[in-house]
Amino acid sequence: MENGISELKKKLCYTSVHIAAEMPEDIRDAEEFCEDYKEFLDLSKTERETVATAEQIAQEAGFVPFDRSGKYKAGQKVYFVNREKSLILVTFGKKPLAEGVRFVIAHGDCPRLDLKASPVYEKDGTAFLKTHYYGGIRKYQWTTVPLSLHGVVILKNGKKVSVCIGEKDTDPRFVISDLLPHLSMEQNERKLSEGVKGEELNIVFGNIPFGDEDTKDPVKLCVLNILYDRYGITEKDLLTAELEAVPAVKACDIGLDRSMIGGYGQDDRSCVFASVSAQVMLKKPEHTAVTVIADKEEIGSCGNTGMESLFLYDFMQDLCETQNAKVRDVYRNSICLSADVGGAFDPTFRSAFEKNNSAFLGHGPVIQKYTGARGKSGASDASAETFAGIVSVLEENGVIWQTGELGKVDGGGGGTVAKYMANMDVDTIDIGVPVLSMHAPFEVTSKLDVYHTHKAVKAFLES
């Protein structure tokens, strides 16, 4: 009888499992895979750097720029870069485009601190940079964290200067200050959401005065002088520049068992790496495989590099012209994985989650039928057919997966690029790596999850 009941339980009940319990042989493979992943994270601190790193990986794998007038055969590989901020990788499949493609879309932008147009100022003997945060951040987390400065400045003569200060060991870093506990009694009374306010996210930039006693703002003059000496940048050039402050931390192993990875930008560069590494391994897939690194997801997928723009649609039109296919046939017959991270269950803050419907670190990529907030608002809500179809592909290929919502009902919520692809008449579903401390300067993922997300994407692109 005992036996019969446990057999029955096994047959009827479902609980998600840890990959290490089910497939211990994958621990070693995941560790090896994540050595490359950590390197990718360190090279890809901004959306531009993410696209550049992925482009290089693709070129090394034989991808060449897409030619509209070209004729392509199964197994050929092309790419398209949109304004240095989004990237499309294509491996042509055996079937004609009209039978649909396999899309995987991840985003290369991450929460960060952008510099305002006129960022440099001096106050009481210290030079600072003014910031405007990008994406959803908990502002108090970004103080007292070493920061680096990345971006692009166009000089008056038209020359484009790439800036990256704070990543090399010998580089200086930057930082946002916070009050010492001895003097924080007044600040401690603020709500946590206002513990540090947007206009208090000011980056410490310099402290040595330059000039004589009549010089106004001598410390500001000193840092501007260094900027000019090194890059030829004047204060006016900063008005039109794109400069981003990001955590100057390197990705590393977390945990005594080295089971996890800590690093900045894992939402969504974990899925970018899982997807790009899968795409470059393809030989001659059944359907044409299209991997996209999108931009601007963190602020609503807007702009001409985000998924709300026509850049992917226009590219697909061009692709269709090489086979005289109709783009509407392609979209209608396609399937899309919106490869974006999910929030991992945090045992320290369990009240934010509903445990039965949460994703756990190490239990594999989390597949979400819907995202959104307040009654699924803003979700594309994949069909049962789409969900089950994806699951069968993953299970045939030894992928451990789980499902889970982002927190409890009405606890908050969030969206992904899924709805923009669904709007194009494509069956779309969300899948991604569960993340602890998502959107923090230092996010945590499980190596096994990153590896199985890669396995999932690869199996899907080959299906």
Question: Please, what is the minimum distance in Å from the beta carbon of residue 439 to Mn ion?
Answer: 6
Nearer to Mn ion, 42 or 268 (CB): 268
Nearer to Mn ion, 202 or 277 (CB): 277
The number of angstroms, rounded, from the C-alpha of 163 to the middle of its chain's C-alpha atoms is 21
Question: Please, what is the minimum distance in Å from the beta carbon of residue 399 to Mn ion?
Answer: 20
Question: Please, what is the minimum distance in Å from the beta carbon of residue 137 to Mn ion?
Answer: 10
Nearest of 340, 442, 458, 359 to residue 399 by alpha carbon: 458
Question: Please, what is the minimum distance in Å from the beta carbon of residue 116 to Mn ion?
Answer: 22
Is the CA virtual torsion 244, 247, 174, 172 positive or negative? negative
Question: Please, what is the minimum distance in Å from the beta carbon of residue 435 to Mn ion?
Answer: 9
Question: Please, what is the minimum distance in Å from the beta carbon of residue 297 to Mn ion?
Answer: 6
Nearer to Mn ion, 237 or 405 (CB): 405
Contacts of 229 (CB under 8 A, 6+ apart): none
Question: Please, what is the minimum distance in Å from the beta carbon of residue 45 to Mn ion?
Answer: 16
- The answer to whether 110 and 343 are in contact (CB under 8 A) is no
Q: How far apart are CA 441 and CA 438, in angstroms?
A: 9
Nearer to Mn ion, 53 or 463 (CB): 53
Nearer to Mn ion, 136 or 255 (CB): 136
Q: Are strands 147-154 and 160-165 parallel, antiparallel or unpaired?
A: antiparallel
Nearer to Mn ion, 220 or 419 (CB): 419
Nearer to Mn ion, 446 or 463 (CB): 446
Question: Please, what is the minimum distance in Å from the beta carbon of residue 306 to Mn ion?
Answer: 12
Question: Please, what is the minimum distance in Å from the beta carbon of residue 296 to Mn ion?
Answer: 11
Nearer to Mn ion, 223 or 293 (CB): 293
Binding site for Mn ion (CB under 5 A): 267-268, 340
Sheet containing strand 443-446, strands side by side:
252-254, 260-263, 443-446
Nearer to Mn ion, 417 or 426 (CB): 417
Question: Please, what is the minimum distance in Å from the beta carbon of residue 43 to Mn ion?
Answer: 19
Nearer to Mn ion, 340 or 405 (CB): 340
> Could you write out the three-class secondary structure of the chain?
CHHHHHHHHHHHCCCCCCHHHHCCCHHHHHHHHHHHHHHHHHHCCCHHHHHHHHHHHHHHCCCEECCCCCCCCCCCEEEEEECCCEEEEEECCCCCHHHCEEEEEEECCCCEEEEEEEEEEEECCEEEEEEEEECCCCHHHHCCCCEEEEEEEECCCCCEEEEEECCCCCCCCEEECCCCHHHCCCHHHCCHHHCCCHHHCEEEEECCCCCCCCCCCHHHHHHHHHHHHHHCCCHHHHHCCEEEEEECCCCEEECCCCCEEEECCHHHHHHHHHHHHHHCCCCCCCCEEEEEEEECHHHCCCCCCECCCCHHHHHHHHHHHCCCCCHHHHHHCCEEEEECCEEECCHHHHHHCCHHHCECCCCCCEEECCCEECCCECCCCCCHHHHHHHHHHHHHCCCCCEECCCCCCCCCEECCCHHHHHHCCCEEEEEECEEECCCCCCEEEEHHHHHHHHHHHHHHHCC
Nearer to Mn ion, 343 or 362 (CB): 343
Question: Please, what is the minimum distance in Å from the beta carbon of residue 97 to Mn ion?
Answer: 28
